[in-house]
Structures are given as C-alpha cells and as structure tokens.
C-alpha cells in the first residue's frame, strides 16, 4: 500500500551523489592521484582523498595540496583527467529501484552534491535518473558542504520545513550539513566514510545498501 504523503515521516528526500548513488569513490581517488603525478606534487593517499570526498573542489585542493599555490591549476587538471576517464561509472546496486520506487510513492526527490553543474547534469542524463529528481543543488550553486546553504535552498524551493526533509549521504560532510540545517540524516556505509565515522554525527540511521534506505522513510 502506498501511503499518502501526509502520513509519511518525510516529504522531501535529498541525496548526495558520489559514493551514495554512484560508485565513484575509486575513480575520484585515481584521478586525484594522477593529477598529483602530472603536476609533480606529493601524492595523497586513498584515505586522505576519501576524507575530503563530498566537499567542493575549491575546498578540497587546499587540504590535499596545501603547499601548492595555484589551486585552480589543480582543479583544471583534475577536471581534465575526470572527463578523459571514459570508463563507465556504475550506480550502486539497487539505486535505480530505490529512486523510482520513492518517486512512485510520492516523495519529492532532490540532489545536493559537491559535483559541479556540468558533471551533475551529465550523470543525471547518462543514468536516466534525472527524470526522478525535482530539483538539484551543486557546488556551483551554493557554498560547499558542510555549510547548509544547499539544503536551505532546497527547503525554500519545495516550501518544506526542515523536520519534514531528510539528507542521505556517505560522508561526514553530508551529515554535518544536515545537522547544520536542522535536518535528519541517513548515513550510507558503502561509500567514502565507514560506519564508525558516520555514527559520530548521530544520523537517524546508517545503512549498508541502498534499498535499506526506504525502511527509514
């Protein structure tokens, strides 16, 4: 039975993208390390890169490459590597069913991501998920996570109170953003950050597969 939206705990469900819906963590790590090699910079470890996934590129580069002055050069190089890497990046198993089922059940769906607008629009089109999301916010639209501006903008767009919306993400940056917006959150432990780290932000729940998200909405 499909519940009326008024009977649901939440009206608006907001998803992070990388590491939450799409299995991009490995690609991000590889591209970032190739950038460091090309520019003859100290190569960050996989864990160092995982720690910053979810933030915008302008916020990431000073953290990973603190000794390099031209962070825009690193950003441009990263984007070039990311575009050149033509290997298809899959959605996590169960994501397409989850999103289509939530849409059919009457939830308002949105994305809040550290990706740039061009990158987000591209993956929304390539995956076919764009048809299900009613609005998206990215690093080009608002301040980087964990600042709550992206979430505040989405709440205003949908005219939904913070206690009727929930943020779903794989990093402490996603969950901190939700806390900063006065919003509940669900952590997913199959992405950038593990369950131990996610628990420190007191999410509503932590799940280890996408289809389990529906159980907490």
pLDDT digits (tens, 9 = 90+) for 27-45: 899 999 999 999 999 999 9
11 plus 62 within the same structural domain: no
Q: pLDDT at residue 209 above 50?
A: yes
Last residue within a domain, chosen from 84, 110, 132 = 84
Instruction: Band the pLDDT of 114: cuts 50, 70, 90.
Output: very high
If asked whether residues 169 and 80 sit together in one domain, one would say: no
pLDDT mean over 179-207: 97
Strands, sheet with 12-15, edge to edge from the N-terminal-most edge strand: 135-137, 108-112, 12-15, 165-169, 184-188, 205-207
Q: Which of 84, 104, 121 is the C-terminal boundary of a domain? A: 84
107/51 same-domain check: no
Partnered with residue 75 across adjacent β-strands are none
Asked if residue 139 and residue 201 are part of one domain, the reply reads yes
Total domains in the fold of the chain = 2
- Please give the Cα distance from 89 to 73 (Å, whole number): 25
> Residue 124, CB half-sphere, CA atoms under 13 Å: how many?
23
Q: Is 121 a catalytic residue?
A: no
The active-site residue out of 18, 51, 170, 174 is 18
Percent of the chain whose predicted confidence (pLDDT) is above 70: 94
**Are residue 43 and residue 148 in the same domain, yes or no?**
no
- Of 16, 51, 170, 174, catalytic: 16
Pair 190, 144 in one domain: yes
With 90 as the cut, is the pLDDT of residue 64 above it? yes
Please tell me whether the overall predicted TM-score, pTM, comes out greater than 0.85 for this model. yes
Do residues 131 and 78 both lie within one domain? Answer: no
Helix, strand, or coil (residue 142):
coil
Average pLDDT over the chain, rounded to an integer: 92
Residue 66's Cβ-count burial label (10 Å; 0-12, 13-18, 19+) is exposed
63 with 140, same domain: the answer is no
Are 140 and 155 in a shared domain? yes
CATH of the domain at 78: 1.10.150
pLDDT band at 119; cut points 50, 70, 90:
confident
Query: How far, rounded to the nearest angstrom, does the alpha carbon of residue 21 sit from its chain's CA centroid?
Result: 8
Do 119 and 55 share a structural domain? no
| 174 is a catalytic site residue | no
Residue % of the chain over a pLDDT of 90: 83
Residue that has been written with the tokens 């740039």 in this structure: 116
Q: How many CB atoms lie within 10 A of CB 216?
A: 16
**Domain end: 55, 84, 113, which one?**
84
Domain boundaries, position 117: 5-24+90-216
pLDDT band at 3 (very low <50, low <70, confident <90, very high): very low
CATH number at residue 134: 3.40.50.1000
Q: What share of the chain is helix, strand, coil (3-state, %, to 5)?
A: 50, 15, 40
Q: Based on the domain organization, do 138 and 55 belong to the same domain?
A: no
Same domain, 114 and 209: yes
Select from 179, 188, 191 the least CA-distant residue to 206. 188
């Amino acid at each position: 039975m499909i519940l009326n939206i008024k009977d649901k705990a939440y009206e608006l469900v907001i998803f992070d993208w990388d590491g939450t819906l799409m299995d991009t963590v490995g690609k991000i790590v590889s591209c970032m390390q190739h950038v460091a090699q090309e520019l003859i910079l100290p190569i960050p470890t996989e864990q160092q890169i995982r720690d910053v996934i979810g933030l915008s590129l302008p916020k990431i580069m000073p953290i990973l490459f603190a000794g390099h002055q031209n962070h825009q050069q690193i950003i441009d190089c990263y984007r070039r590597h990311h575009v050149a890497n033509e290997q298809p990046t899959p959605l996590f198993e169960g994501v397409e069913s989850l999103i289509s089922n939530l849409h059919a059940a009457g939830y308002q769906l949105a994305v809040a991501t550290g990706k740039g607008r061009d990158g987000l629009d591209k993956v929304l089109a390539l995956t076919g998920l764009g048809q299900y999301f009613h609005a998206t916010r990215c690093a080009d639209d608002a301040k980087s996570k964990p600042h709550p501006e992206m979430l505040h903008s989405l709440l205003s767009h949908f005219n939904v109170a913070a206690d009727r919306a929930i943020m779903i993400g794989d990093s402490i940056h996603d969950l901190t953003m939700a806390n900063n917006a006065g919003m509940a959150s669900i952590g997913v432990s199959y992405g950038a950050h593990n369950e131990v780290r996610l628990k420190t932000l007191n999410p509503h729940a932590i799940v280890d597969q996408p289809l389990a998200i529906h159980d907490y909405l």
